[in-house]
A and B are shown apart, each in its own frame.
Chain A
Amino acid sequence: DTGVSQDPRHKITKRGQNVTFRCDPISEHNRLYWYRQTLGQGPEFLTYFQNEAQLEKSRLLSDRFSAERPKGSFSTLEIQRTEQGDSAMYLCASSHRDRVDEQYFGPGTRLTVT
């Protein structure tokens, strides 16, 4: 079991650019979650998928954000026209259908928008 992986681990981009992050969940985990964490705060829920279906989106997920999980395996989170306020750690987690309570987190992607 290799755990949840995220790529890249760090991303520095200029304001206005688009960025895309990838998350690979633990195999056979059917649920995948995205969270955002700013310095000194706890993670905040963004969205989650059950298989390929996106079941819930937070109001934090503005129109500039889009998440996909096309084949029910890995997921991508894209941010268009990045703003400095998007600077944060983006965390991905996954859970198994039989233990949905337990979410396993990846190491996160730290985004810095300059």
Chain B
Amino acid sequence: SQQGEEDPQALSIQEGENATMNCSYKTSINNLQWYRQNSGRGLVHLILIRSNEREKHSGRLRVTLDTSKKSSSLLITASRAADTASYFCATDAGGKLIFGQGTELSVKP
């Protein structure tokens, strides 16, 4: 079963705008990760945030984690058409990853 929920399920924006995706999870975690998946392909690891961290940046990506609310958000700034993909959060459950259902992001040029 899926660990959590992602919101929104789909997001459509114009190039240059920011995109924010949210993830909620149910159990205690060691870390939370975000992955990107282009249509019909494998997953690419974007960023990992540990349970004792509140915010992390990587390039145009900003991830926040609120363990009290069991939620995380992924912000992509200055989006590009190439950012069009599905984005998944995943929590580490003792070695295996438990994924959310994903947010499908469409960035229109």
B6 to chain A minimum Cβ distance, whole angstroms, is 8
| Interface flags, B81-107, vs A, CB<8A=1, else 0 | 000000010101001111111100000
Cβ–Cβ contact A42 & B101, under 8 A = yes
Residues of the A chain whose Cβ atoms lie less than 8 Å from the Cβ of B100:
42
Residues of the B chain whose Cβ atoms lie less than 8 Å from the Cβ of A35:
97
Q: How many residues on A have C-beta within 8 angstroms of the other chain's C-beta atoms?
A: 27
Known A42-B2, A42-B88; contact A103-B97, beta-carbon cutoff 8 A? yes
A65 interfacial contact with B, CB 8 Å: no
Cα distance A98–B92 when bound, in Å? 15
| Interface flags, B16-53, vs A, CB<8A=1, else 0 | 00000000000000110101000011111100100000
Most chain-A CB neighbours within 10 Å: which of B33, B95, B99, B100?
A: B95
Residues of the A chain whose Cβ atoms lie less than 8 Å from the Cβ of B96:
33, 45, 48, 56, 58
Cα distance A96–B17 when bound, in Å? 36
Cα distance A93–B30 when bound, in Å? 19
A106 interfacial contact with B, CB 8 Å: yes
Known A33-B96, A56-B95; contact A42-B102, beta-carbon cutoff 8 A? yes
Most chain-A CB neighbours within 10 Å: which of B33, B42, B45, B48?
A: B42
A24 to chain B minimum Cβ distance, whole angstroms, is 13
When A and B form their complex, which 5 residue pairs have the shortest distance between CB atoms, in order from nearest? A42-B99, A45-B96, A105-B42, A105-B43, A107-B42
Task: Given contacts A43-B97, A56-B96, A101-B30, list 20 more A-B pairs with CB under 8 A.
Answer: A4-B42, A31-B95, A33-B97, A41-B101, A41-B102, A43-B88, A43-B99, A45-B96, A45-B97, A55-B95, A58-B96, A91-B42, A101-B33, A102-B48, A104-B45, A105-B35, A105-B42, A105-B44, A105-B45, A107-B42
Chain B contacts to A: CB under 8 angstroms: 2, 30-31, 33, 35, 40-45, 48, 88, 90, 92, 95-102
